Amino acid sequence: MVKVKQKVSGTFRSETGAQNFALARSFLSTLKKQKKNLFASIKQVMKTGKIELFET
């Protein structure tokens, strides 16, 4: 996997920041595996506040 986050100290400033980064990274990874449009999916989440990973 590509290295996308590195700080000089090697850590995040807060536990919440680390959790948010992990959540976003997991979400994007799942979308990529499902061959979904990343931009459209992020736009939908920003608009609705809901994450839909599965077809309903």
| Model confidence band, residue 25 (pLDDT cutoffs 50, 70, 90) | very high
Instruction: Specify whether the CB–CB gap between 27 and 33 falls below 8 A.
Output: no
> What is the distance of C-alpha 14 from the center of its chain?
17
Mean pLDDT, rounded, for 9-19: 79
Buried b (16+ CB within 10 A) or exposed e, 21-37: eeeeeebeeebeeeeee
Of 7-16, 17-26, 33-42, the range with the lowest mean pLDDT is: 7-16
pTM: 0.64
CA distance linking residue 20 with residue 14, whole number of Å: 10
What's the pLDDT at 39?
93
